[in-house]
Structure 1
Amino acid sequence: MTDLRETALAGEHEELGASFTDFGGWKMPLKYTSELEEHHAVRTTAGLFDLSHMGEIRVVGPDAGTFLNTALVGNLAAIRVGKAKYSLICREDGGILDDLIAYRITEQEYMVVPNAANREVVAAALEERVQAFNAAQGSETEVWDESEGISLIAVQGPKSQDIISSVVRLDETYIVEELGYYASATVTIGGQEVLLARTGYTGEDGFELFMPNDKAGALWRSLREAGADFGLTPCGLACRDSLRLEAGMPLYGNELSTERVSFEAGLPVVSFSKGEDFVGRAALEAAKAEGRGRTSGQRLVGLKGLGRRAGRSGYSVVLPEETPDADHAAGEAEQPSRLVGVVTSGQPSPTLGHPIAMAYVDVAHTAPGTRLDIDLRGRPQPFEVVELPFYSRG
């Protein structure tokens, strides 16, 4: 892993004895002790994550919101200052380049947070699109990729508000308590201004904190110290994956790709009501008109295991094999293929105690309660289609 990028918190992870993995070209903590213990900590108390491999791209100017409405599928111009919106950046053919969150910092400033592996792709796409937008509109909107200088720490779990409230300046605790979901505000921790967002990727209440790289170590240590009495546990990417799967949250490269459109993924994030002609609009309008993901093609569904073995990404989803009819004569025409889909993510659920999976399945077989099998290397295992998410807090 000598050629991998390291976050500003790499020394903290090594001191804690983390096991590392290559994630999008970054040396990231996979786990510190036990993936299972870390998973349960987030569900019951709180977990501490280093997410500094994620991207941060600033979009600035009087026309920033209008520009983002041409670059992304959502209506970003409509969100208020201090709010955030989950959206997609797509190709002209409607394929998904990335899913991301856009925070409106001021009237004329947004921060777009793409996935780590797609940061350079998204930054390049936004740069290209802003040049075309500026030329067409006579605008001076600017796009800055600030990812190299910003660290991101997340605190996720039922005790996360208590932990964050204990480290902010005393007269700012009300900001933490009143901050809504998908909202952000500036707070002071240890004399340093931090952008605090109430967002996350675990299915629990939680916060994400953005700060300069040189302030990340002190903040990490402050959070660990303050969280000790609340059961705060450092957590790696392994439990983050099991947590997001239970919460039915898609992962780029698994559930999302340039080969899929939003309707197949069940993401109601495309705004056709906004006036801007965003990239991919015509293709997505055509996909919606043909019922893609609704009456044609495939749709992302949840699968609940009825046995003990879990399906994994890439495994086939098939119709259960019927018992041969006594009158079925040998040599008859070959039966149609039983293949109806493919698993995108799957593993045993630590919280629910049974296997779960997400899969793209032919729409004819996506009704909740439908019995399907996952082919585990020639051994079909029984699953049932269920509504997502598998787990909801509270």
Structure 2
Amino acid sequence: MRIVHLGLGNFFRAHQAWYTSVAPDAGEWPIAAFTGRSPGAAAALNGQHGRYTLLVRGPEHDDASIIGALDAAYPSDDLQAWREHLAAHRTAVVTLTVTEAGYLRDAGGGLDESRAAADVTAWLRGEPVQTVPGRLMAGLAERRIHGGGPIAIVPCDNLPENGAAVARVLLDFTTLAEPALVPWIRDNVAFVSTVVDRITPRTTGEDVRAAAALTGFEDAVPVVTEPYTEWVLSGVFPAGRPGWEAGGARFVPDITVHEQRKLLLLNGGHSLLAYAGSARGHATVADAVADPECRGWLRQWWDEASRHVPLPPGELAAYREALLTRFGNRRIRHTLAQIAADGSQKLPVRVLPVLRGEVAAGRLPAGAIRIVAAWIDHLRGFGAPVADAGAGPFQARAGRVRDVLALLAPDLAEDEALVTAIDRATLKPAG
């Protein structure tokens, strides 16, 4: 059997590839991985026969291991290899780490047809597709032609019910570009929802040297990560899967509560520190969480978010304390600029559910308001630089809080008290 992965980056190599490497049947599940934004990673890994070093950086010491789960790596534009791998009978699982922005979702969760239009046109003209929905459809179209059989698609990005989210944009795209394929997808493709967690910062030159010193392997592209890891999955695998349980993966009937806990507490906390912390001059998560002001803001946000996570209070308290320990690990250099990227896609799933829930309950939540205000400051030039393909319309309106909110959450834009509170929390007066 085989796994095909889209989004060959550090997180994938620290997470899904690692889980596969420690499975008892790992040898039966080679991974063919395709790059997302960084095509150079494929050449570097192929030069090392797919092997790379995983450097696990704890608070006091490092552990290193050589991961060999990657069988072949391809640049993102090798569409022929992509189609061939998805068409192959032995391919049973497709995993994805393409960031929230990669799925081209609109505000309602469907396909943003304006952003997908060029790819739909390309397909209809017989030209190469480039978007994630387009590439998935192209691969599945090839699979149907060759009788490849059932397959599981397993997104590993931070979206609520990410399996259903991917199914929706894929079917929307296919309806526009290849409507005859829709029934086959419904009958043959399973969409698995997941919760993933493992902090994986960008690799530095110092990390490369540290990995080589521990293993003796001159690795050009090692991966640094933390000891903690989590993978929760819900769904079926019609053609089988590796024994990921050996690495601690959990398979559950309902993933919702696990999603809420992680998206709101961890990811929402990260976004708070990325925008508000970087505006205070901090560069990393550990720097920001060591700042008493930021730490207080974090606890305030967690108090609000916890009201919207239906888990026992003791379990939530333990999770919060574990997050503080992880965030405070100075040996993991997780930059706020990295976390700040793609905020227009992240805030709707990390922050808006709490903001809406609190407003509906008659409260003005200071923590959620602070995150939105800090993000608007970020759009205005405070803190981390903007790296967000979807930021343009928001930056164009960043002078007025109400205009930004009308794009981000139209249902909240007429709430005078909320708009005023967000405006007061920004660092730069509205234009």
Q: TM-score, normalised by structure 1?
A: 0.27
Greater percentage in strand: 1
Q: TM-score, normalised by structure 2?
A: 0.25
**Bigger relative CO (Cα 8 Å, ≥ 6 apart):** 1
